[in-house]
Amino acid sequence: MERNDRTLALVLAAGEGTRMRSARPKVLHQVAGLSLVGHALRAAGTAGFSNLAAVIGPDRPDVAAEIGRVAPGTAIFEQRERRGTAHAVLQARAAIAAGGGTLLVLFGDTPLVRPETMRALAAAAAEPGCAVAVMGFEAADPAGYGRLVTELGELVAIREHKDASEAERTIRLCNGGLMALNGEVALALLDAIRPDNAQNEFYLTDCVALARARGYRAQVVLAPEEEAMGVNDRVQLAACEAILQRRLREAHLRAGVTMIAPETVFLSLDTEIGRDTVIEPHVVIGPGVRIAAGAVIHAFSHLEGAIVGEGASVGPFARLRPGADLGTGAKVGNFVEIKNADLGAGAKVSHLTYLGDATIGAEANIGAGTITCNYDGFNKFRTEIGAHAFIGSNSALVAPVTIGAGAFVGSGSVITEDVPADALALGRGRQTVKPGWAVTFRARPENAAKTKARTPKGG
């Protein structure tokens, strides 16, 4: 995407969101693995806007940290008083004055706005003679929304529902909130806004009437209704999640991914999946996952921060935690957990195993019930397993430890020392068999009555 340094994309993220009933500010709640404010910043970046700013509430280092994580270099301003949207925008006066180009005002609680819509808004406001461009949508039910009043294709007013006439209330073209201002007049329009309303607040929507009074045009950029959906409570948060999941599934399906039951698969915004991958039902993919072509993710698996190589197989009922890296053709089977571990090409961990902080060589085989004991209560240590090694079932590998290439570890072993290549290691007590012991044990006086009670009648 071509960079656009002339547009300042300003995200308003100062609201606390009391209806969320949360200790966290609203803009830090997530959909598809990314915060609400992160969606606005990410979409602006995808649209090509490299000049980013955000207005946050006072004493919110958590919001500032999230903005810096998602979009490093974003200029951050505080709104210490809550006096309306135009007042919030003017907290970034320094950035607006320095930019000189189009001002694109975004909101930190509208995660469904597409980059294409943002670009269209900025382009419309930059047209000769135009001062304001407003995102609008055709509402299925316009009740409660501000109406966009137009004449001959131009926007003449934004009328709040409570202030609209009967005729205006029949208008289905509604205000989507986002607005772009021509940089040559942006500050002049913002400074002219007055709090002449019952709430004594400075409304960004007043820019339309002010621009027209000064001889400029205002216009509407149409977008689908779902893009205007904001998040004010957890019901709307869930609704946005559902819409975004539908978009993500459809995009991956069209890119060549098979999902047996798409409605049961949950993805993250940054999920990467190669073509001809098959995803079975009830799979959850958290942030930071890359799946190469031809992999199979079996049912009821959970992946986060993991890399799955070409043709690899995961699950069913597997968990890949951050740092899991599966090589080409590797297999992670049912009830296996992998964390911060690399599996070489063709390595197999088929069932009931935990591998943490480990390197597994190519074509190695890890038996059922094996665990790497990587944590001593204070520090974590690494286990190294060479190519073609065979680890018997129910083994405990106490890190730091190295199992050489081609080595065997006998079932039930506890391995505390390095094992050379091609060696056999046994770390278990020697089996002892005492013939007839059970008969004597059952015959003890304290056990005899219990033994008789357990004997079936007629037996």
> Does one domain contain both 406 and 272?
yes
> Does one domain contain both 164 and 266?
no
| CATH number where 109 lies | 3.90.550.10
* Cβ proximity of 249 and 262 under 8 Å: yes
Count CA within 13 A, CB hemisphere, residue 241: 18
> Does one domain contain both 223 and 286?
no
Domain that holds residue 217: 4-228
Confidence at residue 137, expressed as pLDDT on a 0 to 100 scale: 97
At 455, the pLDDT band (50, 70, 90 cuts) reads low
> Does one domain contain both 214 and 301?
no
Indicate whether 452 belongs to any domain. Answer: no
Indicate whether 459 belongs to any domain. Answer: no
- Catalytic hit among 298, 302, 351, 388: 351
> Does one domain contain both 25 and 57?
yes
At 459, the pLDDT band (50, 70, 90 cuts) reads very low
Indicate whether 437 belongs to any domain. Answer: no
Indicate whether 441 belongs to any domain. Answer: no
Strands 173-181 and 103-107, bridge-based pairing: antiparallel
The three state secondary structure string of the chain is: CCCEEEEEEEEEECCCCHHHCCCCCHHHCEECCEEHHHHHHHHHHHCCEEEEEEEECCCCHHHHHHHHHHCCCCEEEECCCCCCHHHHHHCCHHHHHHHCCCEEEEECCCCCCCHHHHHHHHHHHCCCCEEEEEEEEECCCCCCCCEEEEECCEEEEEECHHHCCHHHHCCCEEEEEEEEECCCCHHHHHHHCCCCCCCCCCCHHHHHHHHHHCCCEEEEEECCHHHHCCCCCHHHHHHHHHHHHHHHHHHHHHCCCEECCHHHCECCCCCEECCCCEECCCCEECCCCEECCCCEECCCCEECCCEECCCCEECCCCEECCCCEECCCCEEEEEEEEEEEEECCCCEEEEEEEEEEEEECCCCEECCCCEEECECCCCECCEEECCCCEECCCCEEECCEEECCCCEECCCCEECCCECCCCEECCCCCCCCCCCHHHHHHHCHHHHHHHHHHCCCCC
| CATH number where 278 lies | 2.160.10.10
> Does one domain contain both 211 and 332?
no
Domain count, the chain: 2
pLDDT tens profile 419-441: 999 999 999 888 899 999 889 98
Task: Tell me which of 195, 228, 261 is where a domain ends.
Answer: 228
Task: Tell me which of 228, 243, 259 is where a domain ends.
Answer: 228
pLDDT surpasses 60 at 1? no
Task: Tell me which of 207, 228, 249 is where a domain ends.
Answer: 228
Indicate whether 20 belongs to any domain. Answer: yes
pLDDT tens profile 159-215: 888 888 888 899 999 999 999 999 999 999 999 999 988 788 899 999 999 999 999
pLDDT surpasses 90 at 230? yes
> Does one domain contain both 345 and 415?
yes
For the entire predicted model, the pTM comes to 0.90
- Rounded to the nearest integer, the mean pLDDT of the chain is 94
pLDDT surpasses 70 at 274? yes
Please give the average per-residue pLDDT across 92-117, as a whole number.
94
Q: Is 351 annotated as catalytic?
A: yes
> Does one domain contain both 78 and 202?
yes
> Does one domain contain both 185 and 260?
no
Indicate whether 329 belongs to any domain. Answer: yes
> Does one domain contain both 323 and 193?
no
pLDDT surpasses 80 at 4? no
Indicate whether 431 belongs to any domain. Answer: no
pLDDT tens profile 20-70: 999 999 999 999 999 999 999 999 999 999 999 999 999 999 999 999 999
> Does one domain contain both 177 and 311?
no
> Does one domain contain both 91 and 167?
yes
Indicate whether 238 belongs to any domain. Answer: yes
Please give the average per-residue pLDDT across 447-456, as a whole number.
71
